[in-house]
Structure 1
Amino acid sequence: MKVAKFGGSSMATAAQLQKVASIIKDDPSRKIIVVSAPGKRFADDVKTTDLLIQLGESYINGEHYEEIYGKVLSRFREIIEELLLNTALLEDIENTLKDVLSKDISSIAKLDALKSIGEDSSAKILSAYLQAIGFEASYVNPKDAGIIVSNNPGNAQILDSSFTKIYALREKVGILVIPGFFGYTEDGELMTFSRGGSDITGSIVAAGVEATLYENFTDVDSVYAVNPTIVSNPKEIKTLTYKEMRELSYAGFSVFHDEALIPAFKKQIPVCIKNTNKPHLPGTNIVAEKKPEEKCVVGIASDTGFSSLYVSKYLMNREIGFGRKLLNILEDEGISFEHAPSGIDDLSVIIRDSKLSKAKEKNITKRIYEELHPDTVILHRDLAMIMVVGEGLMNTIGVAQKATTAIANANVNIEMINQGSSEVSMMFGIQAADLNRAVESLYHVFFD
Structure 2
Amino acid sequence: MHKSMTAFMAITAMLTGWVPTLGRDRSLPVKPRVELIEYDSVYLQNEFIKLEMIPDAMGRIGQITFLPNKRDMLIPFIGRETAYDPLFSRHESNGMGLRDLFWGVRGLTSSLNPMNIVETNPDSITFYTDNYGFLNASMQRAVKLPENSTVLEICSTVIRRSSDTRHSSLQPWYNLVPARSGTAELIIPARGGVGRVGSRVVVHLEQDCLFGGEELQHYYVAPARNWLATSFPDEKLILAIYVPEELLQPNGFFYFWRGITGGNAVKTTEIILSGKESDEPYNFSCRIGIFPGLRSIKEICGNTAIDCRIKENPDDWIIEIDLCPGRQLPAGSLTLELRPVDGKGNIIKLGKIDLESLPTAKVRTLSFKVSKGKPLSGRYRICGTLPSNEKFELLAPLFENK
When the two structures are superposed, what TM-score results if normalisation uses the length of structure 2? 0.33
Larger RCO (alpha carbons 8 Å, 6+ apart):
1
TM superposition score normalised by structure 1: 0.31
* Greater percentage in helix: 1
Structure showing the higher strand proportion among its residues: 2
